Amino acid sequence: MSEFMALVDLNYRSQRRTAFYARHMAMSPKRLNRLCREEWGVGKNCFEVVMGRLLSEAEFLLLSSDMEVKAIGYELGFVTPQNFIMYFIRWRGMTPLAFREKGRGK
């Protein structure tokens, strides 16, 4: 799975589809999802691994920079700031700005 994670690290900003990663690893999307579940636990598929990497980068940028939330969204390949905010809330349970303020102790 180290090859998969290297591929994710190179492409997570622009590629989120399981089919992309499966094709580059010469396997079916179903097999890649099964391997992800075996490696990272039940329920964690390829998309969730990629989104986890993307959101880790978002968290890093939110806490370590003064970039505007919309700039971070664009940097991470989201089409609109609203898409980024929606995904962030869905996966982290709070807005990016609330995460930044909480992380910085404000």
- Per-residue confidence of the chain (106 residues) as pLDDT tens digits? 889 999 999 999 999 999 999 999 999 999 999 999 998 887 789 999 999 999 999 999 999 999 999 999 999 999 999 999 999 999 999 999 999 999 998 7
* pLDDT at residue number 43: 75
* pLDDT at residue number 41: 80
Q: Is residue 32 part of a domain?
A: yes
Whether residues 37 and 64 share a domain: the answer is no
pTM of the model: 0.86
In Å, how far are 61, 68, 85, 104 from 101, measured between CA atoms? 13, 13, 15, 5
Of 102, 14, 93, the closest CA to residue 53 belongs to: 14
Whether residues 43 and 66 share a domain: the answer is no
**Which residues form the domain of 32?**
2-47
Place of tokens 């869905």: 90
| Domain count within the chain | 2
What do you get for the CA distance between the two ends of the chain, in Å? 39
Q: Is residue 53 part of a domain?
A: no
Annotate 55-79 with DSSP letters as a single string: HHHHHHHHHH----HHHHHHHTT-S
CATH number for the domain that contains residue 84: 1.10.10.60
Q: Is residue 54 part of a domain?
A: no
* pLDDT at residue number 48: 92
